[in-house]
A and B are shown apart, each in its own frame.
Chain A
Amino acid sequence: MLQTLSPGTVRALKVLVFLLCLVPLAVLVLETFGVGGMALGANPVEELIHRNGKWGLKFLLITLAVTPLRRLTGWNWLIRFRRMLGLFAFFYILLHFLVYAGLDQRFDLAVIFEDIAERPYITIGMTALVLLIPLAVTSTRGMMRRLGRRWQQLHRLVYPIAILGVWHFYWQVKLDTLEALIYAAVLAALLGFRLAHWWRRRAPGRFSLSRSGHDRTAHARRSV
């Protein structure tokens, strides 16, 4: 019954998901301004950096989970949520960066550039953020149409970005890497799913090149 949803249902769900994606932001804003006794705790700037970073990474992984979920369940409408989830990932990672640059380093560009140049975990994080920008910019329907096949290729950047994001998380931990490793395991599963899928589609392709080759591109355009 969930195989197909009416356009109206999808639209309603989109509004709901959009609002849900804003909840972490709302909580952080209320805590930042101490509304109703909510608080960020003893080290508020660090808390903001960490929470935004983790939400960014979570949304990145959720975005990467869309295609596997769709394939496993056959719920093709899931794809309609992917762009929004990806943009929320970008949004929280951008906030993460802005809190770091603004509240932590007071937009002191010298210090920020020094950090980016000298602290490998920040170099990696910055690389990931910079790579996310073209993906966000080309996320519109118009851009998708205009870029055609190249849109596909460009957006495969999300894989290295996610790897860099988890690596950045792992590298900034002082000692207890357990949480970062959990994120790494989830990412590995999501990437592994794609590898397995790719491998399965590829193997028979060697023998019947023409037709399945065509299918592959058609399929890939919809689903990577």
Chain B
Amino acid sequence: MKPDNRIRSWEITSEANFVSRRRFIRDAGLAVGAALTGATALALPGRASASLRDLETVPGPFSTDETPNSWEDVTTYNNFYEFGTGKEDPYRNAQEFVTEPWTVKVGGECDKPGKYDYADIVGPHALEDRVYRHRCVEAWSMVVPWVGFPLGDLLKRFEPNSKAKYVRFKTLFDPDRMPGQRRAVLRWPYVEGLTMAEAMHPLTLMVVGVYGKELPNQNGAPLRLVIPWKYGFKGIKSIVEIEFTSRQPKNSWALATPREYGFYANVNPEVDHPRWSQARERRIGASVFAEKQPTLMFNGYAEQVASLYAGLDLRKNY
């Protein structure tokens, strides 16, 4: 664990960098360059992080001391197909998304089912800063300073019964507000699932913020999961439903391409995606000339989670 009342590493580095870089970009204002390119950096309006509220947090366990990615990387390079399939689409298309009010329907094998609004869900929990590695199935990675609380602490409050073996999560389905859902790229709504043991694991987070601020819409506001030893697509966003089940849920990517994506989706450098290698990953934010880095078993969290999968054939259960 980290000492209390430390200065959060990004407060002096990344976000400040981000702001000054933005300013430079804008001041440079090279009309010629802009006209020629419509280049990424210039085309993205500099949406201020200032409109997002600061959250009151305490330092949490399990944080890596690797340098977090910049605010810009974390909030403009996202996979969130509900807002489009391009990496910058969520940033562009999610700005008008309204997350208040927000209710979560809880049901299935538990004694406290019901409709809970955002304050009911988050209110009782202390928010923790946790800097986690994030590994996408597309072989890139980031380091992200999440804000959240252990999912297990939340799930316990719903008193799952003995038949609850899995938890199933659903994203909001509302094509009017989520333009990406107007095309049937995936089967909507997005569904993800965890075993109870995975869901109760102290690494598993219900995330409500990033960089000490409320979660930007493109990152899955207002409630999303982060399971740092699994590929990013397991981290379902904008959650509106939690259901305890006795059978293994069918998750969206496994439904879409069962040969390529499974239920477990644990980060594993030895099991390749059928179309690309998972042995190495490209760290977002690194220089264009930087080398890829080796991917770690369970994304570096093997010590904490390997025991969950003792006896399971990870090649078959990808």
Which residues of A are in contact with B by a Cβ distance under 8 Å? 23, 26-27, 30-32, 35-48, 103-104, 106, 111, 115, 119-121, 171-172, 174-176, 178
Contacts and interface: CB of A to CB of B under 8 A. Distances in A.
Contacts of B120: none
Given A46-B282, A175-B257, A41 B33 contact: no
B140 A43 contact: yes
Contacts, number: 84
B182 interface: no
Contacts of B36: 23, 26-27
User: Chain A contact residues: over half helix, strand or loop, or mixed?
Assistant: helix
A37 B77 contact: no
A53 B186 CA distance: 26
A85 to B, nearest CB: 20
A103 B292 CA distance: 9
Q: Which of B138, B257, B289 has the most CB of A within 10 A?
A: B289
B88 interface: yes
B285 A39 contact: no
B6 interface: no
A27 B185 contact: no
Contact of B41 (A27, A41, A121, A171): A41
A40 B282 contact: no
Contact of A48 (B33, B42, B277, B288): B288
Given A37-B33, A37-B42, A39-B41, A103 B85 contact: no
B85 A175 contact: yes
B275 A41 contact: no
Interface of B: 24-25, 28, 30, 33, 36-37, 39-42, 72-73, 76-77, 81, 85, 87-88, 138, 140, 183, 185-186, 256-257, 275-277, 282, 284-285, 287-289, 291-292
A43 B87 contact: yes
Nearest to B260: A174
B284 A42 contact: yes
Contact of A121 (B25, B85, B275, B289): B275
B284 A43 contact: yes
A41 B73 CA distance: 8
Which 3 residue pairs of A and B lie closest in terms of their CB atoms, listed nearest first? A42-B77, A37-B25, A44-B288
Q: Which of B37, B138, B257, B289 has the most CB of A within 10 A?
A: B37
Contact of A36 (B33, B40, B284, B287): B33
A182 B57 CA distance: 48
A41 B70 CA distance: 12
A37 B285 contact: no
Given A30-B33, A175-B85, A39 B40 contact: yes
Given A38-B33, A42-B77, A31 B87 contact: no
Contacts of A36: 28, 30, 33
B138 A39 contact: no
20 contacts: A23-B36, A27-B37, A31-B37, A31-B39, A36-B28, A36-B30, A38-B30, A38-B41, A39-B39, A41-B41, A41-B77, A42-B72, A42-B77, A42-B285, A43-B282, A44-B288, A46-B140, A119-B275, A174-B138, A176-B81
Given A42-B76, A43-B87, A45-B288, A119 B276 contact: yes
A37 B24 contact: yes
B159 to A, nearest CB: 37
A115 B279 CA distance: 13
A176 B275 contact: no
A98 B231 CA distance: 29
Contacts of B25: 37, 39
Contact of A103 (B37, B277, B288): B288
Contacts of B285: 42
Contacts of A176: 81, 85, 185
A63 to B, nearest CB: 23
A106 to B, nearest CB: 6
A42 B218 CA distance: 15
A36 B27 CA distance: 10
A48 B33 CA distance: 17
A65 to B, nearest CB: 24
A70 to B, nearest CB: 29
A45 B282 contact: yes
Contact of A106 (B24, B85, B291): B291
B284 A175 contact: no
A37 B41 contact: yes
A46 B289 CA distance: 12
A42 B87 contact: yes
Contacts of A30: 33, 37
Contacts of A115: 277
Contacts of B76: 41-42
Contacts of A45: 282, 288
A119 B277 CA distance: 9
Contacts of B87: 41-43
Nearest to A105: B292
Contacts of B287: 44
Contacts of B30: 36-38
